[in-house]
Every structure is written in C-alpha cells, then in structure tokens.
Amino acid sequence: MRLSKYVFLFITLFTTGLNAQVVYDGIDEGYYAFPILPEKINYLSGTMGELRSSHFHAGLDIKTEGRTGLEVYSAAKGYISRIRIGPGGYGNCLYISHPNGTTTVYAHMDKFSPKVAEYVLQQLYDKKTHATNLFPPKGQFTFEKGDIIGLSGNTGSSTGPHLHFEIRNINHEVLDPLRIGFSQIKDNIAPTAVSIGLKAMNINARIGGEFGRFNFDLSQNGDQFYFKDTIEVTGKIGLELYGFDRLNGANNRNGIPIQSVKMNGEIIFSQSIDTIRFSEQKNIKIHTNYQAQKETYRRYNKLYIDDGNTLDFYREVKNNGFIQLKADETADIEITLTDSYANTSKVNFTLKGVAPISELKREPQTKRPYFVQDNTLVLYQPGNNEFAKVTLYAAEGSKVVDPAYKTPSENVYLVDLKSILPLKADMTNGDTLTFNFADRVPATSKHSFLADSYSLRFSKSTLFDTVYIQAEHVVEEDMEYLSVNEDVYPLKGSIYAEWQPKRQYEDIEKYHIYQINNPKYPGFLGGEYKDGKFAFSFSTFGKFTLMKDDIAPEIRLTSRKQDVLYFRISDELSGIKSFEAHISGEWLLMHYEPKRRLLWSERLDKTKPLEGEFELKVSDNAGNESIFELKLGEL
C-alpha cells in the first residue's frame, strides 16, 4: 500500500493474532466532529469495507431516525471543494476539504445550507440540467467545525433515509472513520461467524473425498465459534468465511474489516480493509466468492488471494493463503475476526490431510448433472460401475474419461477444461449431455470469438481469470435469445457482442437488446442495429433477447403546492431516459426521485408565479416520448 503523510500507519500484533490500534498520521485526536446529532449516541446501518454486491462500502451510513431533515454538521473546518447532484449514486452530495489535507463527504442529503442551495440552483439553470458536478472556487463556501451544512435526506441510490459519511485522505482514498474514534458510536459486540466454505482449488483437490466447494455451519460458545468434526482434505484448498458484525443498538449486519488465519499457530493469511481506492471497487467480485453468492445468497469472504485479485489490503500472507496438507497431517485452523473497535471473535476447526479415495461411502452433495468450477467440468452419472466410461466430443476430437471416484449411487467424472472443451458427452447409461462450450478465453489479453450468428470480443480488462464460454443461439416458437454462460462468473469489464437474429421481426429497428436473467424483470441494454446485426455490450453473463417497447412513458400530475408541480412518471419496459420542462417557453428545473418515480418543479425566481403554458416531455430508453401540456392558472 502506498503511504503518504495522511495515510495511517497500520500496526499489527500477529503474535497474538489480533490487529492492534490503527493510527492516522497527521490527524489529531478529536479533529472531526460527528456530522449527525453530535450530542447524542448514534447508530449505523453500514460500516467501512462492508461487502456489497458490486463494491466495498466506503465510510459510514449513519441512521437518521428513519426520516429526512436532520441537521448535518461540518466535521471540521474547511471549504466546499465539490458539489454533486444527481438522481442516482450519492444523490445530493457535498465534499468539504480541510486544512489537514483530508476531505469529508456527505451524501444522500435532502437540502444544502441556503447560500450553497442558491448557488447550486443558479448553476443548474445556467447549465439547463438537473444533474451535475460543481467545483466552486476555493474559499467561496467555508465552514467552521460544527456549522450546519444542510439537512439529511434519501436522495440518489439510498434505500432509506440516512447520511453517508466518508473521510478521504489526500489521495482520495477512503479511510475508516470508526478507527479515528467517535464517542457517538458504541460497539462492544464481537463479530459473528456463521459458516466456513472450503473449496477445491484444482482438479486433484478434494474435501471429504469430493471435488467442489462445501459449506460447514458453525456452532457458537460466546465469542468462540467452531466446527467440531475434523474435515478431511486432499490437495490445494481455499478457505472462505461468511459472517457479520453488529454495533450496539442496531440489528444491521455490517462487515468484518479485519480477518486473519492461523494454521498450527502460524499466520497464513490476513486482511485489513483500512483504505478503499475507488479504482479497485470491482475487485469485490474476486475478493468474495461470486459463484457461491449467486447460489447461496451469502457473500463469502475469501481467506486466500485468488488469480486476478489486485487488492492491496492483504497483510501477512503465506502461499497466497492456500492450505495443502500431506496425508495424515493435521492442521488446527484459527480464524480471528476483529471489528474497527477491536472487538474480537475466533473460529476454530481441524483439517486432516488424506490420500485420494476412489469410492465414497456417502451420497454426493450436488444434485446437478454437471457443473463447472474454475478449470474443471464435473459430471455425475447414476450407477456405480468402474467400467462406466464417458466419451467426450469436442471440435478438436474425442476423449474417453474414467470415473474420478464413485459414490453409493453415482460415478463422478472430472474434466480438465484446459485440455479439452467438450460439446457433448455420451454417458454409458444412454444419456447425452450437451455443454455448448464455445471458447477458452484467457484473462489480461484481447480475445475474439466468432460463431455463425454472433461474435464476442474481450478486452485486456474484461476478465479476472480464464473463462470457458458456453454460448448458444436459441430460437423458440415465441422468442429467440443468446445465452452466454450462467451468471456465476464475475466480469471485471464489459464484453462486446454482435448478434444476428434468425427470426423475422416487423419494424426491427424498434427492437432493443434486453438481459433476461430474471424474465420477470428484463434489463434494458439497448444496442445498435446495423447491417442485420445488433451490437451491444454486457457486464454480467446470462441470456439476452430482443424486445419491442412502443409504449410511451406515463405522466401523471399528482398535485400543485405553493407553485410547485408534482408528477409521477413511469415507463413499462425500457425505463425513463430523460425529461425536460418549459413554462411559457422558458426552461424549468425538474427534480427527479427514481425510487418514488417522483418529478417536481423548482423555479429560479421563487417570487415569480408559476403561470403560463407548461410543457413536460418525458422520453424512455427505446425512444418513445410523452408530452404533458397544461395552461397554468386554470387549475
């Protein structure tokens, strides 16, 4: 990690397995005031480094009593260096720069202080936009520590009223405010461990005699968590953990920033999410087990460094955290979990190395006919016959595979996808499995794949690791779709695709690409139709189809209060793209809150009555437009 004057020094005492105090060099004790209800105990709904679906949570989410309108205070003396306005993301957001080189961030606000609000409103009118980034001159808006800078809200991508608060260093890396220390937050509760995951990291590895990934729920005794039975392992194993942390007075499940693993008393892995760089946010998909999250709805923290992971908050690591035991070798595993207030819990269990076995005495845990894990294809065939070979057929030829091991009711076959990409498998019981493997795509290099009706193009930054593409163009009676893998493999960047439909479409120019991983909620991707093909990009694997949206957005006037017009706007399929209003030919600012589908007006000159010919245009992503007209004064 890069260290600078304002980046804290991380001190660890791994001899005890605990992370000690975090010291922020250049930040004096008590430098920052708490930004919400500073004279009271406060509660959090989110903490630094929490594992979210697409990012590590930065800073704190401070509860605001379930409502908007609480006063927000400047954490320290400084000036506004940036103002961000928009319907998504941080919503209404202020950035205040301080003399010690740090910047504090206040997001999802409802209102700004009067002078700032007046400036913002003028800028929005000058730019004729409802969303913008502003950078006022240094010193134009200054605040002392504890000055009111506005009111808390629920704007942007917030899912409920709260204040999102960050402290950033001189490099705009986010620091953990709780490690600075605020008396307004109380926490004497140690983290909770729920389950450990063990993953076979290559084709020769086994857990309990099986290849795959397996979860083991933990028992609890106070702050001690354990799995009482010894787990037998073979070969290279990766360890994962699902758990959470709670703070006093709140039931929210927060993240566990500090985790370490000892094997027989020696540290083999440790992490401390002490700073977050926004450029590294997509690495959340490789820091957690993406496939396990999709299948179990739990985000397992990997306690090893996987291929493609460039995060820099790992500390003492041996063999990238992987465990590999010899036959009859026993390992006592201790995982230490520590929150930002140094509350600590431990997880203990035992692993035993065993030689590979050819026949299990129990049934396999999977119910699928096959699945792919990393570089390995796993096939299951009913029956227990040592002569039950499987024949694989690929573009480069065929291959006969023996069972890797047997269970009481099934044969299990392991196929190294680095050596063969099978299109189908003939099983000895007469079944045929079809895989549609189309290509082997290496990470960190440009790559293209061309089929009869579609092509895929990968950039150097698309993948974390090698991916084996299973793609298929399917034409059914009522629809057609392009299937590109299941959404269990993380993408770092986007894949560019070109797809030539086979069905006939009337007015095909009015169709667009939608992702239908969940058919009830198709996601608009758009795309461009040219020369008989649709060109589009996608950032998650899944299914893609063509849909036509020729229904214009709905506009409904809900009320008029004190010369402010309120509307509900909605669109059936492709979603709202833009809106614009005029009053007697003059541009009128409309604020938008997508969560509530709410649109409302604000005049630059509040003394000027809202009268005249009003027009509101709303467009969707498919190009449909609705116009609402009203002669104000006749309401």
User: Does the pLDDT value for residue 266 go beyond 60?
Assistant: yes
Give the number of C-alpha atoms closer than 13 A to the C-alpha of residue 311, restricted to the C-beta side. 31
Give the number of C-alpha atoms closer than 13 A to the C-alpha of residue 124, restricted to the C-beta side. 26
Q: Is residue 315 located within the same domain as residue 402?
A: no
Strand pairing report for 454-458 and 432-434: unpaired
Q: Is residue 415 located within the same domain as residue 443?
A: no
Q: Is residue 414 located within the same domain as residue 488?
A: no
Q: In sequence order, which residues have a C-beta less than 8 Å from that of residue 432 and are 6 or more positions away?
A: 424, 425, 426
Residue 325: which region, alpha, beta or left (left: phi > 0; alpha: psi -120 to 50)? beta
Q: Is residue 376 located within the same domain as residue 300?
A: no
| Segment 182-240, tens digit of pLDDT | 999 999 999 999 999 999 999 999 999 999 999 999 999 999 999 999 999 999 999 99
Q: Which tokens sit at 489?
A: 């493999």
User: Which CATH number fits the domain that encloses residue 562?
Assistant: 2.60.40.760
Decide: 57 and 267 in contact? Cβ < 8 Å: no
The pLDDT value recorded for residue 437 is: 93
User: Which CATH number fits the domain that encloses residue 477?
Assistant: 2.60.220.30
Q: Is residue 230 located within the same domain as residue 267?
A: yes
CA distance 15 to 9: 18
CA distance 483 to 497: 12
User: Does the pLDDT value for residue 244 go beyond 90?
Assistant: yes
Q: Which of 381, 412, 435 is the last residue of a domain?
A: 435
What is the 8-class DSSP label of residue 173? P
Q: Is residue 248 located within the same domain as residue 265?
A: yes
Total domain count, the chain: 5
Q: Which of 518, 548, 578 is the last residue of a domain?
A: 548
- What is the CA 92 to chain-centroid distance, rounded? 22
- State the residue range of the domain holding 98: 9-180
Concatenate the DSSP letters of all residues of 510-570 into one string: GEEEEE-SSTTSPEEEE-EEETTEEEEEESS-EEEEEEE--PPPEEEEEEEETTEEEEEEE
| Segment 448-475, tens digit of pLDDT | 999 999 999 999 999 999 999 999 999 9
Q: Is residue 347 located within the same domain as residue 419?
A: no
Q: Is residue 18 located within the same domain as residue 167?
A: yes
**Total Cβ atoms within 10 A of residue 66:** 8
User: Which CATH number fits the domain that encloses residue 126?
Assistant: 2.70.70.10
Q: Which of 25, 39, 58 is nearest to 182 (CA)?
A: 39
Q: Is residue 155 located within the same domain as residue 15?
A: yes
**Total Cβ atoms within 10 A of residue 12:** 18
Strand partners, 254: 245
- Residue 3 forms part of a structural domain: no
User: Does the pLDDT value for residue 15 go beyond 50?
Assistant: no
Any long-range contacts for 533-536 (C-beta under 8 Å, 24+ apart)?
A: 533/498, 533/499, 533/500, 534/498, 534/499, 534/500, 534/501, 535/496, 535/497, 535/498, 536/496, 536/497, 536/499
User: Does the pLDDT value for residue 20 go beyond 50?
Assistant: no
Polymer length of the chain: 635
Please report which confidence band the pLDDT of residue 24 belongs to, taking 50, 70 and 90 as the band edges: low
Q: Which of 435, 459, 477 is the last residue of a domain?
A: 435
The pLDDT value recorded for residue 19 is: 33
| Segment 44-87, tens digit of pLDDT | 999 998 999 889 999 999 999 999 999 999 999 999 999 999 99
- Residue 2 forms part of a structural domain: no
The pLDDT value recorded for residue 16 is: 32
Q: Is 283 helix (H, G, I), strand (E, B) or coil?
A: helix
Which has more pLDDT, 215 or 388? 215
CA distance 599 to 591: 6
Q: Is residue 16 located within the same domain as residue 96?
A: yes
| Segment 125-171, tens digit of pLDDT | 999 999 999 999 999 999 999 999 999 999 999 999 999 999 999 88
User: Does the pLDDT value for residue 5 go beyond 80?
Assistant: no
The pLDDT value recorded for residue 331 is: 98
Q: Is residue 97 located within the same domain as residue 241?
A: no
Element (H, E) at 296: helix 290-296
